[in-house]
Amino acid sequence: MSFSVNTNVSAMVALRHLGATQRMLEQTQLRITTGLRVNGPKDDPSTYAIAQRMRGDIAGMGAVKTALAAGESSISVAIMGGKAVADLLTEMKAKVVQANQAGLDTASRTALQNDFTALRDQLTTIVQTAQFNGKNLITSGASNLEVLGSVQGATISVNARAMDTTSLGIQTASLSSAAGAATALSQINSAIDSVTSSLASFGSSARRIEIQTDFTSKLVDVMKAGVGNLVDADLAEESANLVALQIKLQLGIQALSIGNSGPGLILKLFER
């Protein structure tokens, strides 16, 4: 066995193992701090790449959920407006039926006409204000609504259904005469049928969006769980590793101390 002041093999070996232990300890502490087993491409290149692609898909589906929510709100407003229109048409029909009774005097007919006109004006106001984020599906000339339904760009089409007085054919209805009241009854019945059909169409579209929203939410949850399975750290295992590495670090420091004390023994060779 040779002794050298310039080359201390024991210290070099101890230092090498101490450095390796320190790096493993830092990695374990990072995993515990972040909760991630894969914090970057250096940890596991292939797993990191897969996880990043999945995170991109999750972000895209988040945008889809936002678009679906906006579409659902637009349809909900249209349905709410349509129900209000249907209620008004029911009241207007009551006025029309009263105006069709035989022997109605002029004053009563005029009063019914005024009530009918007021209800029709209120219907117009409701149709004009039934909009969400600038989109109105029940006004005259409204365009269809295309709702983003998938990351790939598939859309759910919601047909606009005009419910203004002109589209419903009641803009000229009058109760001022018996003949006019008879015609108005037919017009009101047709308007009620049209609004009912429109509400059914909106209801079907709303249900479709609701189903797609539910599916997208579940898909996001599954993908998040998948990413977690790929990159999340097992904190119980990392906790055990941390204790073991801390002990190894202390032993490494002790071994380095012993190695560093070796050259000091050379002095004893020169003692008299």
pTM: 0.77
pLDDT in tens, 79-138: 999 999 999 999 999 999 999 988 888 899 999 999 999 999 999 999 999 999 999 999
pLDDT at residue 8 tops 80: no
Look at residue 90 in the predicted model and tell me its pLDDT: 96
Residue 72 pLDDT level (bands cut at 50, 70, 90): very high
pLDDT at residue 263 tops 70: no
User: Hey, which residues does 145 pair with through a beta bridge?
Assistant: 158
- Higher pLDDT: 231 or 238? It is 231
- Higher pLDDT: 249 or 185? It is 185
pLDDT in tens, 41-67: 888 899 999 999 999 999 999 999 999
pLDDT in tens, 215-237: 999 999 999 999 999 998 888 88
Look at residue 251 in the predicted model and tell me its pLDDT: 83
What average pLDDT does the structure give for the chain?
89
Dihedral sign (CA 77, 82, 88, 90)? negative
Look at residue 10 in the predicted model and tell me its pLDDT: 76
Least confident segment among 84-88, 163-167, 234-238, 266-270: 266-270
Look at residue 21 in the predicted model and tell me its pLDDT: 84
Look at residue 197 in the predicted model and tell me its pLDDT: 96
Residue 159 pLDDT level (bands cut at 50, 70, 90): very high
74-77 LR contacts (CB < 8 Å, sep 24+)? 74/132, 74/133, 74/135, 74/137, 74/145, 74/158, 75/137, 75/145, 75/158, 75/202, 75/205, 75/206, 75/209, 76/132, 76/206, 77/130, 77/131, 77/132, 77/137
- Higher pLDDT: 83 or 26? It is 83
pLDDT at residue 271 tops 80: no
